[in-house]
């Protein structure tokens, strides 16, 4: 059984989650072309290696961010959207990257198999 660590609910069976797509910047609604919206809404890069994705814990309707290796299907870490934004802000300003807070239920932030 594969376990995914939800930032809100702790370790849960992977069957409780829905993949929401790769994390990518939204185009400016005021100036975006139809092609830019199509790319944003329907196309994925399908990157081999580490990517950042949206995930949904379906029973609670809680959206969060996960870093996953697409070659091994390993969940590297999960975090709240606020933690993701704080990390992006720190990276952009050259500050030390804030550590991801452990999610409820332990210090492991990824997925495990049992």
pTM assigned to the model: 0.76
Higher pLDDT, 104 or 37: 37
Range of 4-18, 33-47, 80-94 with top mean pLDDT: 4-18
* Range 74-79 average pLDDT: 96
Q: Which tokens sit at 50?
A: 């580490």
Which range is least confidently modeled, 55-59, 82-86, 110-114? Answer: 110-114
- Does domain 2-113 correspond to CATH entry 3.30.70.20? no
Mind listing the pLDDT tens digit for each residue in 40-50? Answer: 999 888 889 99
Count CB neighbours of 12 within 10 A. Answer: 19
pLDDT at 96 over 80: no
């Amino acid at each position: 059984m594969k376990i995914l660590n939800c930032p809100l609910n702790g370790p849960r069976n992977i069957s409780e989650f829905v993949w929401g797509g790769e994390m990518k910047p939204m185009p400016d609604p005021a100036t975006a072309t139809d092609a830019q919206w199509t790319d944003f809404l329907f196309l994925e890069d399908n990157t081999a290696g580490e990517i950042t994705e949206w995930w949904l814990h379906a029973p609670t309707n809680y959206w969060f961010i996960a870093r996953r290796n697409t070659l091994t299907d390993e969940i590297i870490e999960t975090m709240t959207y606020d933690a993701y934004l704080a990390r992006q802000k720190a990276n952009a300003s050259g500050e030390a990257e804030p550590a991801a807070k452990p999610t409820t239920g332990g210090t492991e932030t990824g997925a495990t198999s049992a």
